[in-house]
Structure 1
Amino acid sequence: MLEGIHHAAIICSDYRVSKHFYAGILGLEIIAENYRQARDSYKLDLRLPDGSQIELFSFPDRPPRPSYPEALGLRHLAFRVGNVEQSVAQLASAGVEVEPIRVDEYTGKKFTFFTDPDGLPLELYEI
């Protein structure tokens, strides 16, 4: 029935900062950018190399979202990378703080975490 994940939707607090982070720093391709005047909201469609997408939204009066490491709901968004060390170096050169690289005890694969400008937890997972 399911064939893959089409997109993940993210609501940001500062559209320009988040657009720069996801498109400029992480290098996601901009597919479409729309300002929805009736909602005073931007919607930015971004594509990863495998075709999956992120929809980046801005809303003027969004409620804060609590973020705890083990809170109920979506825990984090993980990106596949070919080389974690290389990806960490790229993020660090852009001023993004990244946690130390760890090894998955079950798969033996390397991974690490960082956050977007709003503190959303993101993961790099080496394939």
Structure 2
Amino acid sequence: MQFENIHHIALIGHNYQQMYDFYVNKLGFRVISQHNRPAKGDTILNVQQGALTLEIFIKPSAPARPSLPQPETQGLRHLAFKVASVTTTLHQFDRLGIPHEPLRYDDFTHQPMAFFFDPSGQPLEIHE
């Protein structure tokens, strides 16, 4: 068996406008499709940037992440986005009003990195 690539990453949020604003308006993903599912009580917002596709389920009744703001629970720990410059990206976050942790360096690679969170509390990372 050989996996070629990641097809998409699915996330769950509870507030459509906050998730849309964060991923589309602030992070620059483009909407590729949207599906309202009244029977399931959610909306699926598919967004893409480059080869990365996120399938964002907006479910107002979704329970909060159990360990905010710590990502140390079983399952997906965080998503890490590769950027050309962590410092430049953090300045862009500041201009857009995206809260983030301070710049730090990976213990093993010694590359610059920083964490931030989406409106649902999903830990996200930028890394060079």
TM beyond 0.5: yes
* Partner SS state of residue 79, structure 1: strand
1:96 maps to amino acid: I
In 2, the alpha carbon distance for the partners of 1:53 and 1:9 equals 9
CA deviations on 1:16-74 (whole Å, 9 max, x unpaired) are 1111100110001111112122223211111121x121111112322333123422221
Name structure 2 gaps, 5 residues minimum.
none
Structure 1 match to 2:40: 39
Preserved contact between residue 14 and residue 61 of structure 2 (Cα < 8 Å): no
CA deviations on 1:87-122 (whole Å, 9 max, x unpaired) are 111111111111111111322211100111122111
Structure 2 match to 1:82: 84
1:20 aligns with 2:21: yes
Go from structure 1 to structure 2 and tell me whether the alpha carbon gap of 1:61 and 1:69 turns closer, same or farther (over 3 Å shift): closer
Shift of 1:75: 0.9
Task: Using structure 2 for the length normalisation, give the TM-score.
Answer: 0.89
User: Which of 103, 111, 114 is matched with 1:112 structurally?
Assistant: 114
Q: Sequence identity of aligned pairs in percent?
A: 39
Name structure 1 gaps, 5 residues minimum.
none
1:64 aligns with 2:64: yes
Shift of 1:76: 0.8
What is the RMSD computed on CA atoms of the aligned residues?
1.4
Structure 1 match to 2:54: 54
